[in-house]
Amino acid sequence: VRVVRLPWTRRLALAAAALLLATLFSSGARAADATASGDDTAQLFAAATTELHQGRPTEAIASFEALADRGLVDPVASYDRGLAYAQRVRIGAEVPGDLGRAAHGFEEARALSSDSALVDDATRALTVVRSEVARRRIRAGQPVEVDPGRSLARAVAGLVPEDAWFFVAAAASATFGVGLFVRRVGRGRRLRVGAGVAAGVAVPVLAVSIVMTLASRHDRLYLREAVVVSPGARPSSDQGIAQPGASPLAEGARVELLDSRGGWTRVRFGSLETWLDASTLRPIVRLD
Amino acid sequence: MIPRSRSPSRSPSRSHSHSPFPLFVISLLFCLLVPHASFAQSKPSIQVQVDQDTVGVGDVVHMQMTVTSSEAMPSDAQPGPAPGFVVHSPSSMPSQTHFNINGNQMDRFTLTVDWPLQAQKTGTFTLGPPTVVVGNTRFAPSGGITVRVLPAGQAPRHAQPQQPGGVDPFGLGFSPFDPWKQMFPGSQPGDPLGGQPSPTISSDPRLQLDSPRGNFYFIHATVDKTTAVVGEQIILSIYEYTDESLARVAIEASDAHEPQLADFSRRSLLKDDDRGIMAGTVSIGGRLWEVVLAHRWAIFPLRAGDLTIGAMSETLARPRAVSGAVRSTETLRLHVTEPPVAGRPPGYAIGDVGHFAVETQVTPRDVEQDAAVAVHVEVAGTGNVPPTIATPARDGVEWLTPEVHEQLAPIGHDTFGGKRTFDYVVRLHRSGDVDLGDITLPFWDPQKAAYDIARSPIGVVHVRPTSTGGVPGASPSGKGAQEALPDLPAQRDILENTRTSPRTHLDDSPLPWLLGIGFWPLAFGGVVAGGAAGRRLANAWRGRRASPAAELDRRVAAARSACSGDDPRAADAATARALEAAALARGGVSIRGAVGDEVLDRLVGAGVTRESAQRLAELLRSCESARFSPTAADVAAARDRWREAQRAIRELRRA
């Protein structure tokens, strides 16, 4: 057997070529996988919307839930999923928890979407679902409160997007800085007075907008919310013992998640803080 | 306290199951108690099973087929091919049930046939599929049943048929024909006191242990796998090991604890879970131990995670030497995951694991509007048979809560399964041809490690308008339901798909905070502070330029420059000015204009040492003398004086 020894430069070139080929192959395979996954998701979504159009909500729900299992986070998918659950209630084939799951889909769509029309539709659908829940709770003699609303600070912070608060803060900061400068170096008396007033007004605006920016950021990073998806979400102690006389939380209610232990989750609903069975809650997915 | 005599009394508990009389009684009871489990339909429901899937040559395996039809009584059942087996004469049990639902008359015909098959040679054989005639058509289930035949005596032990005269038709645990028989040890064949041949040592590795876990008696737990998916069957076996030389073992009944299985659902794989079966005799630690399979459970994980099977414990009451001693099994840990998300079919419910088939029957298929039809759904298979199924929801179709019946039992030795039936009453509020859709059951098949879907179309029901004049296609009863959730917005068909990853925000980075918000106040502060600092710097600079030290430096530089030239007078003048500047900078006193001893006095008065002051005064005087001398001065002498002056200045600094 004759062993041919290649010069080191040629061996290096061969190794580099092999590495390049392997890299190209693996990246090509990854790209093919990603494309296949995307196609699969698109097909499943198309099937789900078709089933929903055809008035087959159970099949549509299965498809939308499969999309969620595969990690698709999209406001339209969440919104249509909510509609599928609502449609099942509407045609009289309701499964317990359908109203809560419908509300969850709409809440998630609102949280995810940047399309104002979709947000409006989801809000309208959410109102319809919660009205139905409230109607049923009135019949059952239970407290009607379905949505306690948000705290004042959180409501103000939610008036505009987080980036908008930041831009307001930046504008106020510029006004403040330029105002002080003009007041210092300006020649005319009117100019100096005007600059001083502008700087004085900019200070509280700057303070408020910075606080709102930070509050929005805190909510984005740390606030976790869920929707009650069961008609039997009974407030319990941290030992899992139902609180005597307490009515179940309304199906479709949006709650804040505070803590989790075993199969139990501590939530805040308005001023109420209690433990709920984790299976009665479905967290709202957020991309942020 | 439960006294437990040794193995022969606990092992043969399954022996009654093959006698035809109890089978008949059970089947009869089933037919009486579960009469509405299926309704008439052209295609019959056929179930085939064997009682053992591994037998030895000469052993008898029973193949049982149950056929249910709504058309006619099944007949002419044939076992199909049975290579390697001899088919003995079968026993068959026909039954008929009559129903009346909403005025609809229905009948169900059931035929159960049992074929004893005796194995003739070793190998793996496929039995059947058996066939049966319903109406004028012969039907057969899909696929046969595989049975493995081992050499005689090597097959796993099973309950032996009851000895002649030991028939227990009422399941009382003793024979009414000879009630005294079991009260006298040794009177039965196989009883240890009756003279039994020496035991054969089992080579089953599942029974072997490195050392005994206790004296005289101990228990041991094993599982067939340590990783599984949620809902997958895991076999948990509990073995009791008894020292063969021991005559009697008793357990404290009040202090026996079964294993903690909080995260599992449990079904027994033994026909009688209260009485174990002989597993063999093994040699451990130089002693012979009689091993009884006390429990064999199919357990199904209910959630994902690292799950624990707690120890089972028993307290010994006898023998007296170890009375009160506790024997417990090992604590077992299992890693349980969910089946993969990739390829998961829509509608899959976590926990639906096994292999299933779905059959549906609808009766009748032609009804009036607002009348009801019966939909019978049967889910059969092995594994964790789903307790619920999703029914297809349609407008104008109302599915009422189903009646659920189950026939779940061990299948062979290591598989649990059977069937669940769901009997729905479905009201049809819409006239026309109503397609009820399909029943689909996605499941994870652990054998194939893949998802599969069991599907059965329910089909179309023709709904006639009511005789009172219903409108075709209308669903009057659904009207009330439509009042719920009015005015829902329209669905959307295109994904928004704007983002696939978390959005970045301006305030996530410190740079926008610095540039966008901090810049302007900082810039203004910088301008104000910069102005003030500039002024302070200018003043300091000016002050520094007028200081005596700066003046000294300038004078020294000038003297050095002058000494390098050819003009001795200029050099002496520069040296003198340097000395005056040194006196001011280092001594803090001006000697300009001072004459004679006044220079010395001023310097000493300012704290300069007398020696240094005297030297500086002399140098100054010599410079002045040379400078104003009428004779031509010498440049070299001037340079010498400058060198001296430099030393004096340095010493003055030191002083």
- Residue percentage of chain A with pLDDT more than 90: 54
Pairing of strands B287-301, B277-284: antiparallel
Per-residue model confidence (pLDDT) at position B108: 77
CA–CA distance, A251 with A134 (Å, rounded to integer): 9
pLDDT of A84 strictly over 80: yes
Q: Which residues of A touch B393 (CB under 8 A)?
A: 56-58, 88, 91, 93
Helix, strand, or coil here: B36?
coil
- Region of poorest pLDDT, from A44-53, A140-149, A279-288, B337-346: A140-149
Q: Which residues of B touch A71 (CB under 8 A)?
A: 341
Per-residue model confidence (pLDDT) at position B11: 32
Q: What is the pLDDT of residues B336-350, one digit of tens each?
A: 999 998 889 999 999
Q: What is the pLDDT of residues B573-619, one digit of tens each?
A: 999 999 989 888 888 888 888 877 888 888 888 888 888 888 888 88
* Residue pair B539/A197 in contact by the 8 Å Cβ criterion: no
B480-495 average pLDDT score: 80
Burial class (CB in 10 A: 0-12, 13-18, 19+), B109: buried
Structure tokens at B575: 């040296």
> pLDDT grade, residue B100 (50/70/90)?
low
Nearest residue of chain A to residue B350 (CA atoms): A69
B504-514 average pLDDT score: 87
Query: Rg of chain A's alpha carbons, rounded to an integer?
Result: 28
pLDDT of A37 strictly over 90: no
Q: What are phi and psi for residue B65, nearest 5 degrees?
A: -120, 130
Structure tokens at B27: 């089947």
What ipTM does the predicted assembly reach?
0.76
* Residue pair B381/B357 in contact by the 8 Å Cβ criterion: yes
Q: What is the pLDDT of residues A105-133, one digit of tens each?
A: 999 999 888 889 999 999 999 999 999 99
Structure tokens at A255: 């709650």
Q: Do A93 and B399 touch (CB under 8 A)?
A: yes
CA–CA distance, B297 with B300 (Å, rounded to integer): 10
> pLDDT grade, residue B483 (50/70/90)?
low
Amino acid, res. B208: Q
Angle between helical axes of B610-627 and B598-605 (0-180°, round to 10): 150
CA–CA distance, B225 with B361 (Å, rounded to integer): 38
Query: How distant is the Cα of B490 from the closest Cα of chain A, in angstroms?
Result: 8
CA–CA distance, A154 with A12 (Å, rounded to integer): 62
Per-residue model confidence (pLDDT) at position B479: 46
Q: Do A177 and B524 touch (CB under 8 A)?
A: yes
Per-residue model confidence (pLDDT) at position A153: 82
Q: Do B520 and A55 touch (CB under 8 A)?
A: no
* Residue pair B527/A125 in contact by the 8 Å Cβ criterion: no
> pLDDT grade, residue B477 (50/70/90)?
very low
Query: How distant is the Cα of B304 from the closest Cα of chain A, in angstroms?
Result: 13
Structure tokens at B445: 């098949």
Helix, strand, or coil here: A9?
helix
The listed range with the strongest mean pLDDT (B52-66, B110-124, B324-338) is B324-338
Structure tokens at A264: 């139990």
CA–CA distance, A246 with B41 (Å, rounded to integer): 50
Q: What is the pLDDT of residues B120-143, one digit of tens each?
A: 888 888 888 898 888 888 888 877
Structure tokens at A145: 């409160």
Q: Do A86 and B485 touch (CB under 8 A)?
A: yes
Tokens 């005599």 belong to residue: B5
B227-239 average pLDDT score: 94
Q: Which residue among A70, A80, A174 places its CB closest to the CB of B491? A: A80
A30-44 average pLDDT score: 71
CA–CA distance, A45 with A57 (Å, rounded to integer): 14
DSSP state of B72: S
Q: Do A83 and B482 touch (CB under 8 A)?
A: no
Per-residue model confidence (pLDDT) at position A87: 94
What DSSP letter does each residue of B475-529 carry, written as one string? -TTHHHHHTSS-SPPPP--S-----SSPPP-GGGSHHHIIIIIIHHHHHHHHHHH
pLDDT of B18 strictly over 60: no
Mean residue pLDDT across chain B: 80
Structure tokens at B565: 């030239």
Q: Which residue among B393, B489, B503 places its CB closest to the CB of A93? A: B393
> pLDDT grade, residue B188 (50/70/90)?
very low
pLDDT of B14 strictly over 50: no
Q: Which residues of A touch B506 (CB under 8 A)?
A: 163, 166-167
Structure tokens at B646: 């430099």
Give the CA angle between residues A157, A160, A164 to the nearest 5°: 105
Give the CA angle between residues B252, B254, B259 to the nearest 5°: 90
Structure tokens at A160: 């505009």
pLDDT of A213 strictly over 70: yes
pLDDT of B306 strictly over 90: yes
Selected residue with higher pLDDT from B29 and B149: B149
Alpha helices in B568-609 (DSSP H): 568-582, 598-605
B285-301 average pLDDT score: 90
- Region of poorest pLDDT, from A193-202, A244-253, B21-30, B588-597: B21-30
Q: Do B516 and A170 touch (CB under 8 A)?
A: yes
| All residues at 6 or more sequence positions from B459 whose CB lies less than 8 Å from its CB, including other chains | B360, B362, B365, B435, B436
Per-residue model confidence (pLDDT) at position B457: 94
Question: Within chain A, how many helices (H) and strands (E) appear?
Answer: 8, 5
A248: left (phi over 0), alpha (psi -120 to 50) or beta: beta
| All residues at 6 or more sequence positions from B495 whose CB lies less than 8 Å from its CB, including other chains | A42, A45, A74, A76, A77
Helix, strand, or coil here: B137?
strand
- Region of poorest pLDDT, from A10-19, A141-150, A202-211, B641-650: A141-150
Q: Which residue among A59, A73, A181 places its CB closest to the CB of B524? A: A181
Q: Which residue among B437, B517, B527 places its CB closest to the CB of A56? A: B437
- One-letter-per-residue 3-state SS of B311-371: CCEEEEEECHHHCCCEEECCCEEEEEECCCCCCCCCCCCCCCEEEEEEEEEEECCEEECCC
- Region of poorest pLDDT, from A88-97, A145-154, B285-294, B493-502: B493-502
| All residues at 6 or more sequence positions from B606 whose CB lies less than 8 Å from its CB, including other chains | B583, B587, B588, B589
Residue B332 CB neighbour total at 10 angstroms: 17
> pLDDT grade, residue A245 (50/70/90)?
confident
Helix, strand, or coil here: A76?
helix
Structure tokens at B87: 């088919």
Q: Do B393 and A91 touch (CB under 8 A)?
A: yes
Query: How distant is the Cα of B342 from the closest Cα of chain A, in angstroms?
Result: 7
- Region of poorest pLDDT, from A171-180, B169-178, B254-263, B503-512: B169-178
Per-residue model confidence (pLDDT) at position B116: 81
pLDDT of A281 strictly over 60: yes
Q: Which residue among A58, A170, A214 places its CB closest to the CB of B392? A: A58
Of chain A, the end-to-end C-alpha distance in Å amounts to: 64
- Region of poorest pLDDT, from A216-225, B84-93, B402-411, B557-566: B84-93
Q: What is the pLDDT of residues B146-167, one digit of tens each?
A: 888 887 767 765 544 433 333 3
* Residue pair B328/B309 in contact by the 8 Å Cβ criterion: no
Pairing of strands B332-337, B460-464: unpaired
Alpha helices in A116-275 (DSSP H): 116-139, 152-157, 162-185, 189-222
pTM of the model: 0.61
Burial class (CB in 10 A: 0-12, 13-18, 19+), A49: buried
Q: Which residues of A touch B478 (CB under 8 A)?
A: 91-92
Q: What is the pLDDT of residues A251-275, one digit of tens each?
A: 999 999 999 987 899 999 988 899 9
Amino acid, res. A210: I
CA–CA distance, B582 with B482 (Å, rounded to integer): 110
